[in-house]
Amino acid sequence: MSRFGLRGPRRRHAARSPRSLRFKLLDYGLAILVLGLLILIAARLDRFETRKEQGMAIVNDGDSITLGAERIRMRGIDAPEYQQTCRKAGADYPCGKLARQSLVRLIAGMPVSCSGWQRDRYGRLLGDCRAGDTDLNRAQVQAGWAVAFGDFETEEAVARAAKAGIWAGTFEEPQQWRDSHHDAPVEKKHGLLASFGDALREFFRFW
């Protein structure tokens, strides 16, 4: 019989290496980091909460409406200001008023629903708006009564080629018209890419 008995030789446990200990500490550190990020995300989600408004709209101009007590600036487009004039066939015409009339026709007396989470420098909700099946933001650009302002560049190109709306003549970009007629800061574009950048800046603002 072996001097080790029936159990066979005893095995000695290898000492835990410093390398395996470092990996375990690294795993713990990563787990704590991920948990901390999840907590921070949960704490910041309220800033990205989407607001939804609906009802009968008061049309202010070609790219802004009022629903109840909420003023809404249509996201990604820029229509001529209400008092703005453009030029066609050698004469000025009230393109700002016509842009408003275009939006009134698109709404056609139907309830309007808008959603968004950002606000502009005037505190207006930057919204994507619909009346029935009509995407109002997109339709205003397609009709040629608003220019792309961070979004809807394809729709603008089609309207320009068809000489629709303001593209039938010459006009000053709404932003440039505001700059020359109002003592106010420049309005920044608010399309999809701009919204994504704003969301990242808002999320990391506490760092």
Q: Which residues are paired to 71 by β-bridges? A: 66
Contacts 24+ apart (CB under 8 A), 147-150: 147/77, 147/78, 147/79, 147/173, 147/174, 148/76, 148/77, 148/78, 148/191, 149/76, 149/77, 149/78, 149/175, 149/189, 149/190, 149/191, 150/75, 150/76, 150/189, 150/190, 150/191, 150/192, 150/193, 150/194
Query: Which are the catalytic amino acids?
Result: 73, 81, 124
